[in-house]
């Protein structure tokens, strides 16, 4: 589960740049967990090293949300 | 400087890296969960695993650390590369 949120900023008619329009930002999973529960499932050491966390619950890779628009 | 290191060296080094990472993660976790005995067991298990791996690597490829953290062969082999940060 990924938490990607978005909003549309005000765009002035005098802005010389093309507006991006909808802006996206992602929030990490630990924000929604408060205190880390005991006995979460774990990655194997090799996988943890590649993914950057020992617990799948915290694995949060970046997916560029602007790519699928263009 | 030697350039050809066997594939086994890199495999061992990666294993060591993975175990080190698990230890880092468990350290941070145990800072906030000091009573989780299962995780403490896991931590100690990997700490032991790390010692074994370090010994296995150093017995074949020379010391990885200095100032008494690793044993040296004779003659003194610290001055022979490659060092872990060069590979």
pLDDT tens column, A35-63: 999 999 999 999 999 999 999 999 988 88
Q: How far is B81 from chain A (nearest CA, A)?
A: 26
pLDDT of residue A6: 92
Whether A37 has its CB under 8 Å from any CB of chain B: the answer is no
Band (pLDDT 50/70/90 cuts) for residue B1 is very low
| ipTM of this predicted structure | 0.73
Give me the helices (H) in A1-70, please.
45-51
Q: Give per-residue pLDDT as tens, A10-25.
A: 999 999 988 888 999 9
CA atoms within 13 A on the CB side of B73: 13
Band (pLDDT 50/70/90 cuts) for residue B72 is confident
**pTM of the predicted protein model:** 0.80
A53 vs B19, B25, B46: nearest CB? B25
CA atoms within 13 A on the CB side of B84: 14
Distance CA A1, CA B7 (A): 38
Q: Is the distance from CB of A44 to CB of A56 less than 8 angstroms? A: no
Q: What is the DSSP letter of B79?
A: T
Residues of B in contact with A38 (CB under 8 A): 33, 36, 38
Q: Is the distance from CB of A6 to CB of A23 less than 8 angstroms? A: yes
Q: Is the distance from CB of A40 to CB of A58 less than 8 angstroms? A: no
């Amino acid at each position: 589960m990924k938490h990607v949120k978005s909003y549309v900023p005000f765009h002035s008619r005098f802005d010389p740049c093309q507006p991006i329009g909808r802006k996206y930002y992602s929030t990490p999973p630990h924000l929604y967990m408060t205190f880390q529960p005991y006995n979460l499932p774990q990655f194997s050491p090799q996988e943890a090293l590649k993914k950057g966390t020992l617990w799948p619950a915290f694995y949060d890779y970046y997916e560029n949300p602007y790519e699928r628009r263009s | 400087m030697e350039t050809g290191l066997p594939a086994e060296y890199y495999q061992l080094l990666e294993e060591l890296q993975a175990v080190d990472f698990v230890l880092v993660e468990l350290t941070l976790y145990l800072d906030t969960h000091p009573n989780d005995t299962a995780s403490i067991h896991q931590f100690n298990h990997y700490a032991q695993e790390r010692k074994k791996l370090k010994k296995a690597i150093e017995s074949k490829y020379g010391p990885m650390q200095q100032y008494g953290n690793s044993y040296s062969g004779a003659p003194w082999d610290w001055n022979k590369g490659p060092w872990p940060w060069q590979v």
